[in-house]
Structure 1
């Protein structure tokens, strides 16, 4: 069983794939060559599913941080005999072009150990288990390292010390003295195209330094935000950039699969894909945190992945990072899951759900990033126009909603509000999109009809709030988005009542917000889940818009307090223990942090005379 706390992990990324490194210097999750590829190491989900650890062989205390303005990790081990710093990175390639961070990534994990005082005995254990732990590869010694062959993988481990082999695992021991450094590297290729060479110590060290420089160059060029919680916002911007797939412009929801929403439960999903909703919200957050210049790439990716909405005006809600459509879900019964949380899933069955809110998030992102629309091509413009048409035609339909319920479709209020958002933004963008005047008039009429219907059917007198779906008395935190997207002003009495009801009835003792009450049974799943960090940040943002900046700051601080020691957030918080739950790091949570901080900063601005 895997039991390491989710908060004990840190992310490294080359904008192609990602690894999670534990506080103890163990790489317990790594997928090559893409975020959604089968894992090489998956101890995160099962102790037998592979890892690569490097740590002192004597008792130690570990602290860690990211190198300033980067996603390169430094772990410092302090022992009785001395101190060693471990620097970990997935190499991004040269630093020359900050606009294409990761474009030259060599698909290599580099680890540098530097002894800063005394001398420290070290040990390393290399246990690759490709294909989610199914393959125990053949390990062989080669000049300067170890080769691993098994399944579709050809891996080369670069080492500067001797390794012993047993049970498809390599062990090594060595001592570092003050002033000494040693580099290790793991390169991935295929059986058809084996690696051309074993990397030298000098090459690994130089490329690791270049990766630090590349991240810092990107940060310096893009990150100008100077409002409240500046450091957290900048770091979240880098996390969101690390969750983007450089070759296509796609953005994943999280770096992992099957980390549970409730310990031991079945709410375990694969988040290593591009949800239209999540990716659009990420682009909006990057507008605050990182001044994105890749927006045109993102819109072009979606236009290519969904070249036609078809006769029924359906936009698939999620894609593979290369634009793949079929994300069929399956379980991996050989994996025991994090803290026995089963099943472990790969793929995601939500890919074939109907969720009509996605048109709104997409056009809202386009509106926020309108200054880049002159860089999109005509196909992308036609795609955005088609999305507005789809919202106008499909807003009356039932769907599975933002939370992807696996129960029956319903008239979810959030979905209707986002269809309104799609048409409102399309009307405002009519010029840049080249939309005909007659079409714009139709969008405007339908937008106004949606508004009237939501006010009539979405408000519930018994609940004293806007509710989850038409005819329901259940609350849903997604309705906090109504003032955020401008459907109603935040000082509207109905919005204020919905904010108050959310605080009163959807929060736990720590003041964190649930998405909805799982006992209502709307989502078709057994068990409960934790409080949702994105929803807590939404509450802070809505409060700020309502002119309650100090209250908003308090709510923000509650949620932000759950960042781990390297500034990362998962999806949820366990209300009983305060532990991070869910896939990690979670784009949604960092999106919420960024947009709430910005809204609070705006609310604190003095009103001009």
Structure 2
């Protein structure tokens, strides 16, 4: 669930196990996802049950049907949108309220609830005050107010209670955040009314984005909703995922905080939203980008920011948390903000070119930024960097980074007439030619029979699949086709593509890139089969994490992952394009 400011994750057993307030990257109030003692909110039948769940159509409002021997109930969960907010205005302001409504469907069911917040990632246990109908807890920088007709009792930092719901009856809960030294604004709207208003808000957004009529419409629209849900609507920044420290390997240490806005992810997300007929977010992104970046000058572009443009995202560990299934350390912050990653230059200019009809005429600040990025690509493309997989060892000449510098120059040349007097298309053309010639010569490995992941290497890397996707080479170019086949034959496990030989798990966006490459190479039936198998790897709600364990099918890494849903949307469009012969403008 999302209110376009923060996100909550609810288990199939009715427990809210993750909610950070008031922003995606704030400390958690419910953090059981990372430690059993870090807080949760259980609302479920007391007796044995089965559960089925899905989102209410065209929304991120969750509905779970629980069935017991005595009857059935539906629990509807939502993060409240601002009352009356519709269309592109949803999420601009958030009540920061978690809504839960129980509806009796058949017979009568006894339910139990335990509201167990633990503030600051589980460091602090609250003291509740209040009585029937209204409870409040205030600890440090967070205050919560719970309103419900259910009779609850405070016990050791928890609120607990039980109640019975018969067919046709409804019971609601509203748990709201407020800054602790301000007026809490009272109880707010009844949960049932607020849920219906939130449903209407999400549907009004979805109604504006129904232009995509290509392949796999249902999955594309669900992914578009997920991407919107990962958008911090006040600024237009898109977080890479809603969580921190969900591991790439169970029990391992590759646990990173993804609740920040990577320029790469935001740019690719905008491209996917455009495919999904959601182009209106572009202007707000470029406004946020220019404000976050400020004056670039000669310094390398910072690759990621906080959702309101914060620059210092220094990483530290939360040693008091056990980690997801004992995967430690738990990290907050991400030191990747200090890295040089040259590919981001190309991703931003790619997005600017793709979305030019929505964002031109460019503001003076955007013109200056795009020109500066093109100049950096022309000047720095020969520099080694950390690559798009954010290697923390020695910088290298990664092929994908060089290719994306070519993209930066290529798209800047195409945009030159819109970039003002500082545009230098002739200089950019010279540099573009140099980049292309160098990549074709130094990235090719005769022994691998493919373009390698880095210059002078024989090791495959799935990031080279981007080459035909950005127009650097056609997919049926003999060497590119050989590369695609090498990745398919040597980096795949089942229907999943690993980033490199020995990678821990299958990386979903790489797997969707392979679908696109196969389709572009004329292997459309194979691409479609591959895509269908990837869809089966999502959870029951159609959500994807970053990676999947090929052996178990278990999703790994932070969740839900913007990158994975971007890959799904773009692969669905590519299949549409290659099976119908339509251009993108015809698909929308």
Q: Which TM-score bucket, shorter chain as reference?
A: over 0.9
> Would you say the 8 A contact 1:234–1:290 is kept in 2?
no
Where 1:68 maps in the other structure, the secondary structure is: coil
What is aligned with 2:262?
275
Q: How many angstroms apart in 2 are the aligned matches of 1:51 and 1:495?
A: 50
Counterpart check, 1:253 vs 2:240: yes
| Alignment counterpart, residue 27 of structure 1, candidates 16, 20, 37 | 16
> Would you say the 8 A contact 1:300–1:376 is kept in 2?
no
Counterpart check, 1:147 vs 2:122: no
| Alignment counterpart, residue 4 of structure 2, candidates 2, 15, 32 | 15
| Alignment counterpart, residue 523 of structure 2, candidates 543, 548, 564 | 548
Cα offsets for 1:339-369 (capped at 9, x unmatched): 1000000000100011011000000011111
> Would you say the 8 A contact 2:132–2:149 is kept in 1?
no
> Would you say the 8 A contact 1:137–1:151 is kept in 2?
no
Q: How many angstroms apart in 1 are the aligned matches of 2:252 and 2:230?
A: 26
What is aligned with 1:217?
204
Where 1:13 maps in the other structure, the secondary structure is: coil
Q: How many angstroms apart in 1 are the aligned matches of 2:210 and 2:131?
A: 44
What is aligned with 1:514?
498
What is aligned with 1:523?
none
Q: How many angstroms apart in 1 are the aligned matches of 2:369 and 2:523?
A: 39
Where 1:33 maps in the other structure, the secondary structure is: coil
What is aligned with 2:163?
174
Where 1:339 maps in the other structure, the secondary structure is: helix
Q: How many angstroms apart in 2 are the aligned matches of 1:198 and 1:562?
A: 41
What is aligned with 1:8?
none
Counterpart check, 1:205 vs 2:180: no
Q: CA deviation at 1:414?
A: 0.3
Where 1:316 maps in the other structure, the secondary structure is: coil
Q: How many angstroms apart in 2 are the aligned matches of 1:14 and 1:54?
A: 20
Counterpart check, 1:463 vs 2:443: no
> Would you say the 8 A contact 2:59–2:202 is kept in 1?
yes
> Would you say the 8 A contact 1:373–1:432 is kept in 2?
no
Q: CA deviation at 1:383?
A: 0.9
Counterpart check, 1:81 vs 2:70: yes
Q: CA deviation at 1:490?
A: 1.0
What is aligned with 2:487?
502
After TM superposition, the runs of 4+ consecutive aligned structure 1 residues lying more than 3 A away are: 94-97
Taking structure 1 as reference, are residues 194 and 41 closer, same or farther at Cα in structure 2, changes over 3 Å only? farther
Q: How many angstroms apart in 2 are the aligned matches of 1:456 and 1:67?
A: 53
Q: How many angstroms apart in 2 are the aligned matches of 1:207 and 1:310?
A: 47
Which TM-score applies when normalising by structure 1? 0.94
What is aligned with 2:329?
343
Q: How many angstroms apart in 2 are the aligned matches of 1:309 and 1:380?
A: 11
What is aligned with 2:586?
none
Q: CA deviation at 1:492?
A: 0.3
What is aligned with 1:238?
225
What is aligned with 1:575?
550
> Would you say the 8 A contact 2:43–2:113 is kept in 1?
yes
Counterpart check, 1:440 vs 2:458: no
Q: How many angstroms apart in 2 are the aligned matches of 1:84 and 1:433?
A: 58
Q: CA deviation at 1:271?
A: 0.3
| Alignment counterpart, residue 183 of structure 1, candidates 162, 169, 172 | 172
What is aligned with 1:481?
466
| Alignment counterpart, residue 354 of structure 2, candidates 368, 375, 385 | 368
> Would you say the 8 A contact 2:93–2:234 is kept in 1?
no
Q: How many angstroms apart in 1 are the aligned matches of 2:257 and 2:25?
A: 9
Q: How many angstroms apart in 2 are the aligned matches of 1:554 and 1:244?
A: 31
What is aligned with 1:52?
41
Counterpart check, 1:310 vs 2:297: yes
> Would you say the 8 A contact 2:132–2:151 is kept in 1?
no
- Higher mean Cα deviation, 420-429 or 187-196? 187-196
Q: CA deviation at 1:264?
A: 0.5
What is aligned with 2:576?
601
Where 1:583 maps in the other structure, the secondary structure is: coil
Q: Which runs of 5+ in 1 are unaligned?
A: 1-11, 519-527
Cα offsets for 1:420-462 (capped at 9, x unmatched): 000000001111222556x111011101110000001000111
> Would you say the 8 A contact 2:576–2:582 is kept in 1?
no
The count of corresponding residues between Structure 1 and Structure 2 is 583
Q: How many angstroms apart in 1 are the aligned matches of 2:366 and 2:495?
A: 42
Which TM-score applies when normalising by structure 2? 0.97
Q: How many angstroms apart in 1 are the aligned matches of 2:204 and 2:139?
A: 38
Q: How many angstroms apart in 1 are the aligned matches of 2:81 and 2:460?
A: 44
Cα offsets for 1:445-504 (capped at 9, x unmatched): 101110000001000111100001000011000100000000011110011000000011
Q: CA deviation at 1:375?
A: 5.5
Q: CA deviation at 1:143?
A: 5.6
Q: CA deviation at 1:222?
A: 1.4
Q: How many angstroms apart in 2 are the aligned matches of 1:392 and 1:309?
A: 15
Q: How many angstroms apart in 2 are the aligned matches of 1:197 and 1:470?
A: 62
> Would you say the 8 A contact 2:86–2:202 is kept in 1?
no
Q: CA deviation at 1:310?
A: 2.7
Q: How many angstroms apart in 1 are the aligned matches of 2:84 and 2:418?
A: 34
Where 2:130 maps in the other structure, the secondary structure is: strand
Q: How does 1:376-415 map to 2 (within 5 A)?
A: 376-415=362-401
Q: How does 1:87-102 map to 2 (within 5 A)?
A: 87-102=76-91
> Would you say the 8 A contact 2:136–2:146 is kept in 1?
yes
Cα offsets for 1:141-183 (capped at 9, x unmatched): 2462221121211101112111122211111101111111111
Cα offsets for 1:40-99 (capped at 9, x unmatched): 000000000000010011111100010011111000111111111111111112345301
